[in-house]
């Protein structure tokens, strides 16, 4: 049963909403990809055991992701994919997510992020804005794929 984790997912999503509302108030940003941070090997194994019964398990960065057979509707979010991150002493937060934004709005959010001191993380082929505060135990990311110069 997924029910034992509903409270954890609800708390995670609630904290993500708090974070988004603090940084980008009055913006309609939805969660696209939810990641829960396991705090121990036992919790990691419990998440994997339960979620594998509710969706297809695939390897993902630092853990496994699950494309759910039946999406979860929690606090106005329609969660179709959940990733479980391996325990990491440097990631004591509840989790993180990728946010969905309207096409063409990335530069607006990037400018606001630079004005407020948020991190812009550059990787080969993409960049992302990292939303975080010291008081809210979650992260959120806005990812923009970039065109590689040939």
For residue 150, tell me if it sits in a domain: no
Q: Is residue 25 part of a domain?
A: yes
What does the alpha-carbon distance between residue 134 and residue 145 come to, in Å, rounded to a whole number?
Answer: 27
Query: What is the 3-state secondary structure of 72-126?
Result: EEECCEEEEEEEEECCCCCCCCCEEEEEECCCCCHHHHHHHHHHHCCEEEEECCE
Backbone angles phi, psi at 22, to 5 degrees: -70, -40
CATH number of 12's domain: 3.10.180.10
Total number of domains constituting the chain: 1
With respect to residue 106, please indicate whether it lies within any of the assigned structural domains: yes
What is the value of pTM for the model shown? 0.92
Does residue 137 lie in a domain region? yes
Residue-wise pLDDT tens digits, 58-115? 999 899 999 999 999 999 999 999 999 999 998 999 999 999 999 899 999 999 999 9
The reply to whether 32 falls in a domain is: yes
Q: Give the span between the Cα atoms of 94 and 82, in whole angstroms.
A: 13
| Residue 15 lies in domain | 3-145
pLDDT, tens only, 24-63: 999 989 999 999 999 999 999 999 999 999 999 999 989 9
């Amino acid at each position: 049963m997924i029910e034992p984790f509903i409270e954890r997912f609800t708390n995670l999503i609630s904290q993500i909403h708090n974070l988004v509302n603090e940084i980008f108030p009055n913006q309609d940003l939805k969660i696209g990809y939810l990641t829960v941070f396991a705090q121990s090997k036992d919790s990691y194994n419990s998440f994997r055991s339960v979620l594998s019964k509710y969706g297809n398990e695939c390897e993902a960065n630092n853990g496994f992701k699950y494309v759910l057979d039946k999406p979860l509707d929690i606090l106005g979010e329609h969660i179709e994919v959940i990733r479980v991150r391996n325990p990491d002493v440097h990631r004591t937060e509840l989790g993180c997510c990728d946010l969905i934004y309207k096409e063409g709005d990335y530069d607006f959010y990037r400018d606001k992020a630079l004005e407020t001191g948020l991190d812009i993380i550059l990787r080969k082929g993409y960049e992302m804005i990292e939303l975080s505060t010291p008081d809210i135990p979650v992260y959120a990311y806005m990812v923009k794929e970039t065109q590689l110069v040939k």
